[in-house]
Amino acid sequence: MAKRDYYEVLGVAKNSSADEIKKAYHKLALKHHPDRNPGDREAEERFKEAAEAYGVLQDADKRRNYDQFGHEGSNFGSAGFSNVEDIFSAFSDIFGGSVFGDMFGGGRGSGRSRGRRGASLRCTITLDFAEVAETVEKVITLRRNEGCETCDGTGAKPGTKPSKCPQCSGAGVVMTSAGFFSMRSACPRCQGRGEIITDACGKCGGSGRIAREREITIKIPPGIEDGMTLRVGGEGEAGENGAPHGDLLCDVQIRPHPLFKRAGADVYLVLPVGFAQAALGATVEVPTLKGRTEFKISRGTQSGQVLRMRGEGFPKLDGYGRGDQLIEIAIEVPQKLTKDQEKLLREFAETEEQNISPERKSFLDKVKKMFSK
């Protein structure tokens, strides 16, 4: 399933050194650390994601596999990090450990994992341009694997228990010798779980999971931009043997607007204005994200001038305030004139000959200078 590239997660180049990878990870881990972001699921997910990426990239072999085969490759062989608990216990030195046992429901200390965390799912959400000016909720329907209720996700027939794997005697790992070396690798029989199912649950056939259609309500943070991906923690596929769900990644698409354009949190609007309105000043009606409002154009407004309506843009994604609405004035020159209008304009033009406007005067002066040598 679509998973972010590990290098991208850590924000490092493909050829970065082990040291650079370590530094990048430490920085992210501190930033998204659950202790610093209590109750923030997004931060928790980022934290896990970074830990997973680091778990692979800090290990030369796994990194090579990953470079060659991608996410599939990083799951190969040797006692890998099969779930987050493992990652936390392996890197607890950075944080002093302890907190994570509570956070993820304990389960550490058994020496082997309960099963892999579920895979991520992906969906696309299409929103209207102005809709994201406020928090919106969208309901999407998706089909995903969920834990089987009959066997509680274990895959074993109710009343029976998985039995100890005969190949690895429950250790989850086996030693294989390769030349002079012996290597630890995940037990092929039980995939590192240490146990196998002898009596399969009749409902799920021993997989512990059942496909279901679900409606999920997704809260969209205001100000989200086209092309961004929203991560909804824990709404992906169920994990193996009751392990946590993966995430749901929602790609956000925003429909273009016939009048507005967007640049970050700012909204941009081109406002056609009549020549006389711009010269004399006027109050005109302009659309905003929230509705219509009156907008004052001062006397002598020029074509191309950009005026700002503060705080009329989108909420900023960092949570601090809103962007502005920028209005570019486009003065429209009439293409057809009535007899009366033409007469008035000709009279106006005559006065213009005697009363030259400042920009035009400065232009004419420059032209004069250009040819006076």
Residue 238 binds to Zn ion (criterion: CB under 5 A): no
d(CA 188, CA 373): 92
Residue 224 binds to Zn ion (criterion: CB under 5 A): no
Q: Kindly tell me which of 48 and 112 has the beta carbon lying closer to Zn ion.
A: 112
Q: Kindly tell me which of 133 and 151 has the beta carbon lying closer to Zn ion.
A: 151
Query: Which 3-state string (H, E, C) describes 225-279?
Result: CCCCEEEECCCCCCCHHHCCCCCEEEEEEECCCCCEEEECCEEEEEEEEEHHHHH
Q: Kindly tell me which of 210 and 254 has the beta carbon lying closer to Zn ion.
A: 210
Interacting residue with Zn ion among 201, 238, 252, 327 (CB under 5 A):
201
Angle between helices 84-95 and 18-31 (to 10 degrees): 90
Q: Kindly tell me which of 28 and 148 has the beta carbon lying closer to Zn ion.
A: 148
- Which two structure tokens, joined as six digits, stand for 281? 């000043």
Q: What 3-state class would DSSP assign to 140?
A: strand
Q: Kindly tell me which of 187 and 252 has the beta carbon lying closer to Zn ion.
A: 187
Q: Which amino acid is present at 306?
A: V
Q: Kindly tell me which of 3 and 245 has the beta carbon lying closer to Zn ion.
A: 245
- Which two structure tokens, joined as six digits, stand for 164? 């100890």
What is the nearest approach in angstroms of Zn ion to the Cβ of residue 52? 23
> What is the phi-psi region of residue 150: left when phi exceeds 0, alpha when psi lies from -120 to 50, beta otherwise?
alpha
Q: Kindly tell me which of 165 and 224 has the beta carbon lying closer to Zn ion.
A: 165
Buried b (16+ CB within 10 A) or exposed e, 302-315: eeebebebeebbbb
Residue 261 binds to Zn ion (criterion: CB under 5 A): no
Range in contact with Zn ion (rule: CB under 5 A) among 47-55, 177-185, 199-207, 335-343: 199-207
Alpha-carbon 272 to chain mean position: 36
Residue 203 binds to Zn ion (criterion: CB under 5 A): yes
> What is the x/- site pattern for Zn ion, positions 148-187, by CB under 5 A?
x-xx-------------x-xx------------------x
Residue 204 binds to Zn ion (criterion: CB under 5 A): yes
Task: Find residue 216's DSSP bridge partners.
Answer: 140
Residue 253 binds to Zn ion (criterion: CB under 5 A): no
What is the nearest approach in angstroms of Zn ion to the Cβ of residue 150? 5
What is the nearest approach in angstroms of Zn ion to the Cβ of residue 183? 16
Residue 51 binds to Zn ion (criterion: CB under 5 A): no
Residue 326 binds to Zn ion (criterion: CB under 5 A): no
Give me the helices (H) in the chain, please: 6-10, 18-31, 41-57, 60-69, 71-74, 84-95, 99-103, 275-280, 339-354, 358-370
- Return the DSSP state at 341: H
Binding residues vs Zn ion (CB under 5 A): 148, 150-151, 165, 167-168, 187, 189-190, 201, 203-204
